[in-house]
Amino acid sequence: MTEVIGWLSSFVLVLTIGKQVHTQWRSGSSEGVSKWLFVGQITASTGFTLYSFLVHNWVFVVTNALLLVSAIIGGLVVVKHRRAQRTANV
């Protein structure tokens, strides 16, 4: 039962973050979103993925690896939107 709780919680967290990144991408705007949010998330998710692997906690390995991927995608979306905004302002 403990593993089920972990996997369900992981699913909800990853789905929630994924939905936010998707919404940000579809809206065409990253206004008010700091790039440092994603820098911090990438750093933390990398560390937590490595830690989780070293302690053999597969729920957290998968969760943090997926959060790392979402942070990279979210960061790329911010960069894309900022470039488009700069181009439009020129």
Domain boundaries, the chain: 2-89
How many other C-beta atoms lie within 10 A of the C-beta of residue 49?
Answer: 19
Whether the per-residue pLDDT at 34 is higher than 90: the answer is no
Does the reported pTM lie above 0.85? no
Residue 64 and residue 12 in contact, taking contact as beta carbons nearer than 8 Å: no
The pLDDT tens digits of the residues spanning 4-19 come to 998 999 999 889 988 8
- Copy the structure tokens of residue 89: 């302002």
Instruction: From residue 61, give the alpha-carbon distance in Å to each of 30, 64, 85.
Output: 28, 5, 36
Percent of the chain residues topping a pLDDT of 70: 100
Q: Tell me, which fold does domain 2-89 have in CATH?
A: Monooxygenase (1.20.1280)
Burial class of residue 18 in the structure, from the number of CB atoms within 10 Å of its CB (0-12 exposed, 13-18 middle, 19+ buried): middle
Position 24 confidence tier, pLDDT thresholds 50, 70, 90: confident
pLDDT at res. 37: 87
> Can you tell me which residue has the tokens 């008010």?
32
d(CA 14, CA 9): 9
Higher pLDDT, 30 or 64: 64
